[in-house]
Structure 1
């Protein structure tokens, strides 16, 4: 599927315009644009034949946008924006750049037939003190989507005793998680870290499907595990799948 677009320069100076797709979503009865060039599933299918265009004063140029939709595209509506962006040079020594952009909304509806999109949940957190004195936080990942997950992620601790912070700590993960399966995830920490309480934030992703979960935890003073702590304030962003 191909669509032509036209870029118009209404100023008295030539402009260099960058063309690129960006992620978007629907929520609270509004169309929401993602920041910067953040991708999602739709943007991985969009190709612009001219990523940068020089447009003269009071002139116009055309580009062609091609949508290459894979056979296993997840069904349902997908949203994005085709952006045209112009930026000024950053003032010397400031490090700031003024950027202006305008965009065209993209709506693409995929019919049934493909597998569901990637998705997963993060279970309650458990804080443990191991036999050798090291600390560990564990949880479980449930693959609720229709695609296999190759997870990665990290844990950070904030709001600890005296305002301490720790991390990030890399996740110890198993093999690929098949749809419907549950897999454990753990984070190993140094035993010298105070018992807490801490605000633990777990951020995991597979491809560009992400989930963040937060809970207040405390490590036991003796060897053993704490009660499972339900996560709260979790936010999910399914920006793409691979």
Structure 2
């Protein structure tokens, strides 16, 4: 009786963990028609062919506030067993790995996931059958201009071999929405800092690590080319980092943490790290355009401790030699003074004896 309670708690924890992990495993988002297969379970999703085009890899719309757009998702059962799939929409976000993912079904969507409504919330498909699921996107009249990303999802919940554990498999297609109005793209560099690791060689160079956060402060989806350098006072002895990879596409409001190593940095006591971002904007036609570069700087310390220790030792040795030299000279002077004093006293004694 007492042993069953911990076991039930462990089962509930495993259930929650596996369900969450499965919910975050988004397959085929924004790529070619997606296929999910697990033994005898398989289905695909793709965009419908209509006035927006054929063989689209994702949905992309430009809509003014208060406007609507209609489209459709095609779901096909490629497996030997019937399928009962849920259909819903969800907001997108960028994962720590730099990939676009969607909120789980019970997540709180406030944009695409709330504005997109499918004609049905589920589909039942016999083997070999397919169905077209129409949907409508209704943009609120007070929607803020800019880019929004989400997806329309087909989902299958299955019980695994472990008792009480459900696995949620999802297939979805990305929905990118640009709401009409003034587009204000913007990136900033935040929390910029530099850390220096020296070398045992007194005249050698060390490594620095520059860390910062890229923050999308505008209303457009952006990525960024990055350049990082470290220099001493007055820009001297500059060292450039190897070209960092471009950041992932960041949605408005999102941030991306970056850590860049810089090798061959001279320990000039005071260092300045410089980060330059070139924002990259993708327009409605899919063309990528660079925007005006953004630059930020921050200072840090790079004290050459080994060199300073060597200098201290050399100074101490020089001082020691000088002190010993002075002591030796003083001893010699004292011995000479004593010898002269003794000679004078001896001369006086000799004179006294002669007079006596």
TM-score range relative to shorter protein:
0.3 to 0.5
Q: Report which structure shows greater RCO (CA 8 Å, sep ≥6).
A: 1
* Structure with larger Rg: 2
- TM-score, normalised on structure 2? 0.30
- TM-score, normalised on structure 1? 0.43
